[in-house]
Structure 1
């Protein structure tokens, strides 16, 4: 659906950027005019974008009140994680049969590089950004094995929703949490290196359970 029109796609992208940079905050209420000004959109493309955002559960249109930005409650987070797990477990069954030695070697090496960043004197923000980027790539690569653009677009949206929830609920992040993410990924990689897809799925599900817990970490 994101490919349906330039204005809708652009509006969605601008909305996500505004959430990420703090111009829009979870739970806040804005008018259509305020949102037009903030996103730099005219009314017609904004209305197209709002239809999409409402369908995706990211805004609620309140008559005579305004547009409420979703606040990621527990149910919102649980639903997004459940949907994402369904996609990735299904994709991993295909990915595990076709994964190349080159991908496995690259992923293992990149995770070891990130571990060294965490254990060294690299500023935390830099190490964190490297781990987050690697996390997104690994999960996206698994889903790309399905060669289904609609599924990939949905998976990307779910990743963005979970990232938004983390920004709201996770008050701080620590090197140990990032190290845990690397350890969990490495268990998936190790299972794939053994061509043990069921074990890789178990490791992936364990990673998601831990990731859900970290979303609410203080």
Structure 2
């Protein structure tokens, strides 16, 4: 059996091409959930030790994360976590709103083949959730994201879907915190059902109004959500 090669520091050097992807996935999820405060430094030595890998997959992972905007490269000092400011989060919501309004308008005016079945499934799902909207905030945030993702997927615009998924990924924690508010889950169920009804009725204007109401409801809580996220991040580091 061939021996596992070792690096200069004596640690085993893993050659699996999936190692950097695994590091990226883990760090991205932690950054999205604000396990790190803004500007928290990520060093190669610490990450190599934590993941039990050589420098090569760690460097590739950090390069990918920097390219995707989750970390930023520091001059001769490694990388730092990039958490969005309130203004940047507001900008994300503005772009998300534009994409979502376009989506429901197109679905209402030019419904693609198979849309009726998709909408029927969504109606059943959210009607059931309305009857029992007591799920944990994190679980409900996932279901909420899936609702919007399904509508964008039905539209068939791959570029729009890719951008929307990127934005929603960065808004994950804020949506979780939003669903921690009293009656927010129930209100969201009703909003989603209204959006679906307007699309089915081919009421583009009504669908846009319903979607805007849904997104603005979450956006209104951003300042409080950011404070909560920062508190969580610094608490995890103490």
Band the TM-score falls in, shorter-chain normalisation: 0.7 to 0.9
TM-score using structure 2 length: 0.71
The answer to whether the Cα contact below 8 Å between 2:28 and 2:70 also exists between their aligned partners in 1 is no
Unaligned 5+ segments in structure 1 are none
2:198 aligns with 191
2:47 aligned with 1:35, yes or no?
A: yes
For 2:148 and 2:52, locate their aligned partners in 1 and report how far apart those are by CA, in whole Å: 32
1:98 to 98, 111, 115: 111
The answer to whether the Cα contact below 8 Å between 1:93 and 1:197 also exists between their aligned partners in 2 is yes
1:210 aligns with 217
For 2:209 and 2:32, locate their aligned partners in 1 and report how far apart those are by CA, in whole Å: 32
2:101 aligned with 1:89, yes or no?
A: yes
Change (3 A) 1:215 1:184: farther
2:36 aligned with 1:25, yes or no?
A: yes
Offset, 1:59:
1.2
1:53 aligns with 65
Deviations 1:30-71 (Å, cap 9, x if unpaired)? Answer: 212223344555322332332332233221222344422122
TM-score using structure 1 length: 0.77
CA RMSD across the alignment? 2.9
Offset, 1:131:
2.9
Query: Of the two structures, which has the highest relative contact order with CA contacts closer than 8 Å and spacing of 6 or more?
Result: 2
Offset, 1:159:
0.8
For 1:172 and 1:88, locate their aligned partners in 2 and report how far apart those are by CA, in whole Å: 20
For 1:196 and 1:183, locate their aligned partners in 2 and report how far apart those are by CA, in whole Å: 17
The answer to whether the Cα contact below 8 Å between 1:177 and 1:214 also exists between their aligned partners in 2 is no
The answer to whether the Cα contact below 8 Å between 1:114 and 1:131 also exists between their aligned partners in 2 is no
Offset, 1:154:
2.8
The answer to whether the Cα contact below 8 Å between 2:92 and 2:167 also exists between their aligned partners in 1 is yes
1:139 to 129, 133, 148: 148
More helix per residue: 1 or 2?
A: 1
1:157 to 159, 162, 166: 166
Between Structure 1 and Structure 2, how many residues are aligned?
A: 205
